[in-house]
Amino acid sequence: MMDGLKLRIAGKVRSEGARSEGVWSEGLFRNDGWVGRASWIRNIGRLVRTERFRTAVRLAGLFRNDGWVGRASWVRTAGYRMLVIATSFLYMQLASTELAAQDNIQVSVNNIMNYGYGEESANVGLTQLDKEYFENFSDVRIIADNVTIGFRYELSQPAEYGPEFNGFRRRYIEYERDDLSVRVGDFYALANRGLSMNLFEDRVIRYDTGAEGFRAEYDRDKFRIEALAGRINYLEHLTFDSPSGIREEVYDLRSFSLELKPTRKVRFGGSMTYAEGELPEFGETVENEIVIPELFVHANLPFGRWHASINRREMTFANESDSTSGGGFYTSFSHAGSGYGITFEYKNYNYDEVDPFEWDTPDYERNTRISPFQSPPIAHKEHSYSLMTRDPHLVNFDDEVGFFLEGFYSPTYQINLNASFAMASIRETWGINPDFTVFKEKDGPTWLPSFSDERNPYKEFYIDGEYRFADFLSYVKAAYNYRDKMIYNVFAPDFSEKVRMNTFVLDGQMVINSRWSVKAISEHQFVSETFESEFAENKEYYNQMLTVQVSRSPLFSVGGRVEFTTSEEDPSGDKFWYTLEGSYRIGRTHTVMASYGSERGGFVCTNGVCRIVNAFQGFRLSVQSSF
């Protein structure tokens, strides 16, 4: 039975405990401690006590000769900071090599350093802010047999986006073997498709719902059990630039799930997620309790794969105000054959329906909104082309019903065709009385999206075709995207806004030989914003972007992009942007990337979670290293 044990224990490194003697004095890694008398523990101790390791860590900014660094003086100048990081890379590479050579211990170090200097532009060009940031993320993993020790040290002074930070962001230890796993420390988790729980991190949008605590999983042929408990300190990423300060929410989360597998083709089960939260409200802290039961089924049928999930969320507050209940349903089906495939997704989310008086209120100001640790499927396509991502559909997880249909067809090995269609709307129609009170009115079934303007419909169609040449590396591709969304004004319907976008893309790559290649992308977008009222101004404008890159594999690449718009109301206040960029690989472990120019900015999204990136003009440098 113990063969199934997978123990993941994430130790907590204190401000004093990060010194070589400090960690050992905690009793966590003693030779006779609870991790056993494994020789790899002694080897870690030897390495930590070596002058080489201490010097490397000191140069990396973790220690000074007199102890722990808070705001160390070495971060005062950007040039010296980069020199320190570059020097520490060399020492850490030697240290990891020494450790890995002993008793089958594997060590991996991934480091990302980002630096930027320039100017940000916002408020239609009325606000110009000097911008300088320096970030360094060091992820270390030490693997010995079935045990993994991992941690991340982060230095953000200041961050590109978000608060400053200097210290250990992630720490964990894990042991895994056969069917059973247990982890203590920092972790991420996904329950089924994410309707009840989806803990993840995305550095681009600075979104992080990771928890610190305990997670265990036991996976057998006929069933799987998972249990976890931890604390989430969630910083609302949309308030990082807010004059009123950063919104912080704290959740003590517990979750248990059971999955039964009676056959190899059928799985079903359920989960229970429970959380106690502390949320800000008018300068004070309110407490709430969240209970989310969920059921799901997954089947590999003869004609395709089918999945369905349904849950219910009950949220109550200690002061018995703003309590709410709602739920969600998601299902998907996919089928693939020889040279073709089709996928269908359907969503119906109703976690916190609000009336039109609150439509313009930011979601994060409502304590009853969908919980941050929930992130259901979005059921629409997330694009990779820049102009298609510029103004995406913002999923309303609290009140939205919709579907997504996608298919591909490959008549030959060299030709690929893809097409998709998505549609969504709010679930019900709202009306207004003469006394300016609002009411719901019946307008079709609530389980289907509607074309009615009153339900804020969103529609999107996408198609592309790709032809690959004989080497299967060179290709040409053409894509088209149509997007149509309504922003309905219940109180003044004639001032409702209809936005239509038509985007055309030509994409191609030519591989000259095994080393040289050229890639180019041309994007064209036509946008119209129309109103029914003659007192509102209709707008039409055009966006264009051209990207070119020349690569000499695997050594370097150089390129650039230019963008143009005829819009008079771009948030940056500009109409033309350009960027020159390049990358250079140093050996097998380091890649240096640099860019200079102006960037338009816009929305950046991951699984329906978005933030706005301000326009930027200046210099960026990034160094990625893997040991």
* Mean pLDDT on 383-388: 94
* Mean pLDDT on 347-375: 92
pLDDT value of residue 102: 55
Alpha-helix runs per DSSP H in 402-514: none
Mean pLDDT of the chain: 85
Question: Given a cut of 60, is residue 598 above it in pLDDT?
Answer: yes
Q: What three-state secondary structure class fits 66?
A: coil
Question: Given a cut of 90, is residue 505 above it in pLDDT?
Answer: yes
N-to-C CA span, the chain: 36
* Mean pLDDT on 45-69: 43
Quote the tokens at residue 471.
Answer: 């080497």
Report pLDDT digits (tens) over 248-269. 999 999 999 999 999 999 999 9
Query: What contacts 155, CB < 8 A, 6 or more positions away?
Result: 61, 75, 134, 135, 136, 165, 166
Query: For residues 231 and 217, what is the distance between their CA atoms, to the nearest angstrom?
Result: 18
* Whole-number percent of the chain with pLDDT over 70: 83
- Bridge partners of 542? 526
pLDDT value of residue 322: 72
CB atoms closer than 10 angstroms to residue 606: 17
Helix %, strand %, coil % for the chain, to 5?
10, 55, 35
Question: Given a cut of 90, is residue 156 above it in pLDDT?
Answer: yes
pLDDT value of residue 192: 93
pLDDT value of residue 10: 34
Report pLDDT digits (tens) over 390-429. 888 999 999 999 999 999 999 999 999 999 999 999 999 9
More confident residue, 95 or 590: 590
* Mean pLDDT on 441-468: 93
The strand pair at 415-425 and 189-190 is best described as unpaired
Query: For residues 274 and 292, what is the distance between their CA atoms, to the nearest angstrom?
Result: 6
Q: What three-state secondary structure class fits 357?
A: helix
Q: Is the pTM of this model over 0.95?
A: no
Q: CA–CA distance from 39 to each of 21, 42, 104 (Å)?
A: 18, 5, 10
More confident residue, 342 or 436: 342
Report pLDDT digits (tens) over 283-322. 889 999 999 999 999 999 999 999 999 999 999 998 776 7
Instruction: Please report which confidence band the pLDDT of residue 101 belongs to, taking 50, 70 and 90 as the band edges.
Output: low
More confident residue, 356 or 98: 356
- Bridge partners of 429? 441
pLDDT value of residue 69: 38
Is there a contact between 159 and 189 (Cβ–Cβ < 8 Å)? no
Task: Report which secondary-structure segment, H or E, holds 94.
Answer: helix 78-100
In the DSSP assignment, the letter for residue 370 is P
Count of CA atoms in the C-beta half-sphere (13 A) of 335: 6
pLDDT value of residue 128: 85
Query: For residues 215 and 213, what is the distance between their CA atoms, to the nearest angstrom?
Result: 7
Q: Write the DSSP string, 3-57.
A: GG--EEE-----TTTTSHHHHHHTTSS-TTSTT-S-HHHHHHHHHHHSHHHHHHH
Quote the tokens at residue 164.
Answer: 């400053």
Identify which of 460, 462, 369, 457 has the alpha carbon closest to the alpha carbon of residue 408.
Answer: 462
Is there a contact between 621 and 106 (Cβ–Cβ < 8 Å)? no
Report pLDDT digits (tens) over 58-99. 444 433 334 333 333 333 444 444 444 444 444 445 455 555
